[in-house]
Amino acid sequence: MLDLYYNMEKTDTQLVQEYLQGDLGAYTHLMNRYMEMIYSFVYRFVYDEMRAQDITQEVFIKVWRYMHKYDVAYSFKTWIFTIARRTALDELKKRKIFTFSELQEEDTNSFEETLIDTTQLPDVYLDEKFAREHLQKAINQLPIQYKTVVLLRCDGELTFEEIGEVMKLPMNTVKSQYRRAIEKLRVYLK
């Protein structure tokens, strides 16, 4: 019940303030609130599970380390996605790797997946998998600024205004880049 209280009733800003006042549980709840979104964003950025896990871990270490510098006048969600974006870009620069879709091992099923029969037909599964891989390949072909806008919008569920804050761009520029990215994706996916 306490977990429900933290997650439903308290804002990000309240949790940050409580953490800074010594409540370590508040940081845990913030982490739980954003872990999946950050991992999803980072994974789609680098398209590698192990690297995405490492980068996500690094993001939360940076959040923990610099929480005292967070300005409560701004959105925590925007702040954490800014850290995630910068960390992912730093990783790409450090390794000098431009992400392209790679084949992934198929035997990495989780324990739950081995127990649950989803009864999805093999041809439907393959069609969906092909579509996801095809979309990821198309996203990976986008220029980095367009890719970033698309991933922040779709995976991060950020508004155009929030994306502008993360990328330090005017909202109209973000909208324009998003529109151009969608147009390029349509071309790539034909």
The pLDDT tens digits for 167-190 are 999 999 999 999 999 999 888 887
Which pLDDT score is estimated for 93? 79
Question: 3-state SS string over 112-131?
Answer: HHHHCCCCCCHHHHHHHHHH
The CATH number fitting domain 115-190, selected from 3.40.630.10, 1.20.120.420, 1.10.940.10, 1.10.10.10: 1.10.10.10
The model's pLDDT over 111-125, given as tens digits with 9 standing for 90+, comes to 344 333 444 445 554
- Alpha helices, DSSP H, located in 10-155: 12-20, 24-46, 49-66, 76-95, 111-115, 122-141, 144-154
More confident call, 93 vs 82: 82
Q: What is the pLDDT of residue 136?
A: 82
State both tokens at 117: 């029969």
Q: What would the mean pLDDT of 94-107 be, rounded to a whole number?
A: 46
Query: For the purposes of burial, counting CB atoms within 10 Å of the CB of 185, is it exposed (0-12), middle (13-18) or buried (19 or more)?
Result: middle
Q: What distance in Å separates the CA atoms of residue 74 and residue 88, rounded to the nearest whole number?
A: 22
State the pLDDT at residue 126.
Answer: 55
CA-to-CA distance for 142 and 25, rounded, in angstroms? 40
pLDDT in tens, 38-57: 999 999 888 889 999 999 99
Model pLDDT, residue 103: 29
Q: Please tell us whether the domain made up of 1-99 is placed in CATH 1.10.1740.10.
A: yes
- The predicted pLDDT at position 42 comes to 92
* CATH 1.10.1740.10 residue ranges for the chain: 1-99
pLDDT of residue 102: 34
Give start-end residues of each CATH 1.10.10.10 domain in the chain.
115-190
Q: Of all residues in the chain, what percent carry a pLDDT higher than 70?
A: 77
